[in-house]
Amino acid sequence: MTDQAHGAESDIPGKPTSASRTTLSHIMTHNDTNLLGTVHGGVIMKLVDDAAGAVAGRHSGGPAVTASMDEMAFLEPVRVGDLVHVKAQVNWTGRTSMEVGVRVLAERWNESTPAQQVGSAYLVFAAVDSDGKPRGVPPVQPESDRDRRRYQEAQIRRQHRLARRRAIKELRAKSEPI
């Protein structure tokens, strides 16, 4: 999926970062646990995808599908009873795609400490029309120094994704089919 960054030629009005920012909260139960008694990474990943999808749909003004998930990091285990907050925002937009940054925080039910970050991820979503074809998205307008830093970091991640994809395609073109 190739996507060009917005240039001056974009005729879609931009949206500020805050317009689509959201938080999804969920209490973890025994149904969410693995054999070790902590919450399955897949449960957290689904919450991350749900929150990021809501942000992408809100920003783009319609359906958006997950194109990739980068750098899902699990920093601390999540336990039964934890109130998990999944915070997401659009970091960068291209012509038809968006990078959404997600932070996962856990409020420990049995501790009087503030919520701590337990995970993070970056996802790329493509906006699609009713036929599943790519459609344009509004440019994101960073509002703070932090938003501007996230925008610049997202551009670096995009360059790495594209370079990795090119290198893999080149290697596959040279090798014999399996």
pLDDT in tens, 54-104: 999 999 999 999 999 988 999 999 999 999 999 999 999 999 999 999 999
Q: What is the mean pLDDT of residues 140-163?
A: 96
pLDDT above 80: residue 178 = no
46: tokens are 């689904």
Handedness of CA 23, 39, 74, 107 (dihedral sign): positive
Residue reference for tokens 């049995």 = 110
pLDDT band at 112 (very low <50, low <70, confident <90, very high): confident
Where would I find the beta strands (DSSP E) of 28-144? 64-74, 83-93, 97-107, 116-127, 140-141
pLDDT of residue 1: 39
**Cα separation of 16 and 105, whole Å?**
24
Q: What's the whole-model pTM score?
A: 0.88
Mean of pLDDT values over 139-159: 96
The phi and psi torsions of 58 (rounded to 5 degrees) equal -65, -45
pLDDT at 110 (0 to 100)? 81
Mean pLDDT of 102-108: 97
- On the CB side of 120, CA atoms within 13 Å amount to 7
Average pLDDT value for residue range 7-20: 80
Q: What is the pLDDT of residue 10?
A: 61
The Cα 63–Cα 175 span in angstroms is 37
pLDDT digits (tens, 9 = 90+) for 14-27: 999 999 999 999 99
Q: How confident is the model at residue 12 (pLDDT cuts 50, 70, 90)?
A: confident
Q: What is the pLDDT of residue 3?
A: 43
pLDDT at 127 over 60: yes
Element (H, E) at 171: helix 145-174
Would you give the end-to-end CA distance of the chain in angstroms?
24
The rounded mean pLDDT for the chain is 92
Among 170, 160, 120, 138, residue whose Cα is nearest residue 17: 138
- Please list the residues that pair with 24 across neighbouring strands: 86
